[in-house]
Amino acid sequence: MAEVSYICKRTVVSTKVMQQGKFCPLSVFDRVMENNHLLLVLYYQSPPGLKVGALTAKLRESVANVLCAYPIITGRLLKTTEGHWMIKCNDAGMRLVEATAKGSMDEWLQNVNREKELQLIHWEPIFHRRYFWSTFYVQLTEFEGGGLAIGLSCSHLLADPTCATMFIKAWADTTLFGKMITPPLFHPLPTPRPLERSTNCKPYTALIDHYKNTIEKPPQVSSVKHTTISLKFDDNAVRSCIAKAIDTDASFCREPTPFQALAGLFWICISKVKGRQNGLIDMSLSLDTRKVLRLEKSFFGNCTVHNKVQGHGISVSEFSKAVTAIKGVEDEMDNDRVLELIEWLKRFDYEHPPWMLSDGLICANMEGVESYSAIFEAVYKPIHASYYIEPALGEGQVLIIPSPSSEEESLRRVVMVTLHEDELDKLLGLELIQQLSPAILMGLNNQN
């Protein structure tokens, strides 16, 4: 097993001086995520015979160029007179940690567990002297036997998984092509104009009620340790899961998406593991609303919206019914309803930052996260990506992430599941999971 050695932590500033006196306000979707943070790591093969340290030096130089377009990364947090966070644009820079690991990346991936993987991601909570706290941290770890891991951490206050990956993609494009293909766009979230409201839009309170209840509820904290497994489902497994999820009794049934089918599968299975008989545990879906809000793909800011799926009245044997409930919640989150939520959050005054991901089971749709398009060297694509949304509270967490795929196998997905360790052991033993024969990328056999 590789052992990580930390070489240094340095500050990287942009190659162009930032405009002084400029501020980036944070949106209502940003502010509700203050209590959470993101961790991600991308693994890359490296050119053979490359001296350890050479790749880090190259990437350190290129990231300074890309930071010119990311004032939210080089700036620092301040509060407005109303007590809301904003970014003061300046040249304080981004923290970069350089590290090496013994052995090869292939050996690491064969034996990795949650604790070991988190060694590849440097994270520091918001410092009490926040003006000195870097909004983003990047760690470059070169494996002595070949391979590179890029770890990134940031407060969820500043970015969702799509944005965080977008930054790495911009960095990769700058390294490979000498320029950013798609620069980030910073602007406020949309707000409805009177003439844009749908005349057929009925009042929808379920989404706002979920936010109101979550904001007012204290977080569910457990003393039992959580751990994480990572499972890869191939194209045939996902197709089989979709087929099982179709409601054959319905007069018209639209085929579920890979996310809907896998979310339904794990909702059923985790409810079984937790001993539910009469009804499933309540689940909160985390959905990217960029398309719903008609935003550009390059929009930088939180667009993840959370909505509850009621488990009452669905038994652990009703797979298709569970998937139908998930589809229903996704369909209800249209443009008008998300805009209503934005307006409500602007008006609602809460004393303390809420714990948005602490109630029930959290299931995140990460279909829009383009991890495998972040290519730094012409022939060396990312071979694996892991994401964590911390802290993991409540009933647990399921992240459904695209996997490297071809046109022939476009449905492959990776599912990262965070639960209590004894629950994960039971989950892997369930027939519904075993029938699909997922590859275990990170399992309990690797846990210390």
Task: Tell me if 150 sits within 8 A of 138, measured CB to CB.
Answer: yes
Average pLDDT, stretch 25-30?
95
Coil/strand/helix, residue 358: coil
Same domain, yes or no: 61 and 151: yes
**138's tokens:** 């990047």
pLDDT bin (cut points 50, 70, 90) of residue 127 is low
Q: What pLDDT score was predicted for residue 448?
A: 43
Residue type, 297: K
User: Six-digit token pair at 38?
Assistant: 């993101």
Average pLDDT, integer, range 138-158: 95
Report which of 164, 96, 151, 154 is spatially closest to residue 120, judged by C-alpha positions. 151
Q: Both 336 and 416 in a single domain?
A: yes
What confidence score (pLDDT) does residue 118 get?
96
* Residues 216 and 152 placed together within one structural domain of the fold: no
Same domain, 99 and 221: no
* pLDDT (mean) for 317-331: 94
Structural domain includes residue 319? yes
Beta-carbon contacts of 256 under 8 Å, excluding residues fewer than 6 positions away, are: 242, 245, 246, 264, 323, 326, 327
CB burial class (10 A; 0-12, 13-18, 19+) of residue 357? Answer: buried
pLDDT recorded at residue 249: 66
Last-in-domain residue among 142, 177, 212? 177
Instruction: Look at 30 and 133; give whichever has higher pLDDT.
Output: 30
Mean pLDDT check: name the lowest of 139-148, 200-209, 340-349, 397-406: 200-209
Q: Is the pLDDT of residue 240 over 80?
A: yes
pLDDT at 446: 58
14 and 50 housed in the same domain: yes
Q: What is the DSSP string of 47-94?
A: -TTPPTTHHHHHHHHHHHHHGGG-HHHHSEEEE-TTS-EEEE-SS--E
Beta partners for residue 137, in sequence order = 95, 153
3-state secondary structure 164-211: HHHHHHHHHHHHHHCCCCCCCECCCCCCCCHHHCCCCCCCCCHHHHHH
Do 226 and 420 form a contact (C-beta atoms < 8 A)?
A: yes
Residue 230 lies in a domain: yes
Residue 231 has pLDDT above 50, yes or no: yes
Write the CATH number for 116.
3.30.559.10
d(Cα 4, Cα 119) in Å, to the nearest integer?
Answer: 7
What does pLDDT average to over the chain? Answer: 90
Question: Chain-centre distance of CA 157, in angstroms?
Answer: 13
If one counts the domains in the chain, the total is 2
> Is residue 125 located within the same domain as residue 214?
no
Whether residue 193 lies inside any domain: the answer is: no
Which pLDDT belongs to residue 113?
94
What is the rounded distance in angstroms from the CA atom of residue 5 to the CA atom of residue 100? 5
Q: Specify if 13 maps to a domain.
A: yes
Residue 308, domain extent: 202-381+389-446
Cα distance between residue 23 and residue 75, in whole Å? 9
Task: Pick the closest to residue 423 from 227, 261, 231, 278 (CA basis).
Answer: 227
Residues 172 and 257 in one domain: no
* Residue 94 or residue 225, greater confidence: 94
Of the chain, the percentage scoring pLDDT greater than 70 comes to 93
The confidence score (pLDDT) of residue 191 equals: 85
Q: Is the pLDDT of residue 199 over 80?
A: no
* Sequence-ordered list of residues with C-beta below 8 angstroms from that of 236, at least 6 positions apart, any chain: none
Same-domain status, 244 and 359 = yes
200 CB-contact burial (10 Å; exposed 0-12 / middle 13-18 / buried 19+): exposed
**In the structure encoding, which two tokens stand for residue 160, read together?**
């969702």
Counting residues of the chain whose pLDDT is more than 90, the rounded percentage is: 71
**Same-domain pairing of 247 and 376:** yes
Sheet holding 439-442, edge to edge: 304-309, 283-288, 361-365, 396-402, 413-420, 226-233, 439-442
Residue 37 has a pLDDT of: 95
Select from 283, 337, 272, 333 the least CA-distant residue to 310.
283
User: Does 192 map to a domain?
Assistant: no
In this predicted structure, which of 57-71, 183-197, 365-379 has the lowest mean pLDDT? 183-197
Same domain, 214 and 290: yes
Least confident of 53-57, 198-202, 273-277, 282-286: 198-202
Burial 135-160 (b: 16+ CB within 10 A, else e): bbbbbbbbbeebbbbbbbbbbbbbbb
Find out whether 260 and 326 touch, Cβ atoms under 8 Å. Answer: yes
The mean pLDDT value for 2-22 works out to 87
More confident residue, 319 or 194: 319
The mean pLDDT value for 371-398 works out to 91
The arithmetic mean of pLDDT across residues 368-390, rounded, is 91
pTM exceeds cut of 0.75 = yes
